[in-house]
Amino acid sequence: MSALPKDIEDIHPSLWRGNQLARRVGRTVDTGYENLSAQLPGGGWPIGSLVELLVQQPGIGEIRMLQPALKAVAKRPVVLIKPPQVPNAMGLSYVGIPFDKIMMLNPSSTADALWSTEQILKANTCGAVLLWQQHIRADSLRRLLLAAQSSEMLLFVLRPIAAQQDASPAALRLALRPVADGVSVDIIKRKGPVGIEPFAVALKPSPILLSPHGRPSKRSRVEPVVPAWRTELIEQR
């Protein structure tokens, strides 16, 4: 009997050792954050796969975290499907994502949103798709994964953090919570070891914080408190 190869991945690209990150995961896009990329198989966001971002609440920094990757693929359209807030054109342009490359869809039902996402992936004419949904069945996610695997696109599905208890075929699942100067990332699922401690990713300030017309540095007693999510790159309807 012949000896096993030194690297288990030589048997098949989909195999990896449980105590190591998978190396052969196909093409990736750099996250733009060194400590985040170091924890992802292939060192970045996987192309032609499904990434789930489970957020504590919309607007905690998830768009800013994705900004370097979206900027890298923005030669082709970036599609936002059922975003919880209206895209801020000036904010997106400021961080290098031309607004004329943003396509926003607001389907009236979950079924229509899933169908639209699947068709965009099959067309393979965009750089990335971001889908916001509260509840998605595992079989529906599996259909999206299969469609993504035949494309050269990034696919991010953004769901509430409570969904981390649900079964999912996603190759990568991250739970995001707000912390000072960024987000805390908890790796729920990846091709490699799990159970590592959550780590912080420092994000660049939102454009509104850099503007002389942004929030005042001090609040008076009569000023309303501005929720933190209003400093994101998207604004409330």
pLDDT category of residue 200 using cuts at 50, 70 and 90: very high
Measured distance CA(190)–CA(172) in Å, rounded: 5
Measured distance CA(139)–CA(117) in Å, rounded: 14
Check residue 17 and report its DSSP letter: -
| Cα separation values, 135 from 44, 49, 160, Å | 26, 20, 9
How much is the pLDDT for 229?
42
The closest alpha carbon to 77, from 111, 128, 134, belongs to 128
What are the structural domains, with CATH classification, of the chain? 33-235 (3.40.50.300)
Checking if the pLDDT of 64 tops 50, the result is yes
How deeply is 205 buried, as exposed, middle or buried, from its count of CB atoms within 10 A (0-12, 13-18, 19+)? exposed
How much is the pLDDT for 205?
75
pLDDT per residue as tens digits for the range 145-199:
999 999 999 999 999 999 999 989 998 999 999 999 899 999 999 887 776 899 9
pLDDT per residue as tens digits for the range 67-121:
999 999 999 999 999 999 888 878 888 878 888 899 999 999 999 999 999 999 9
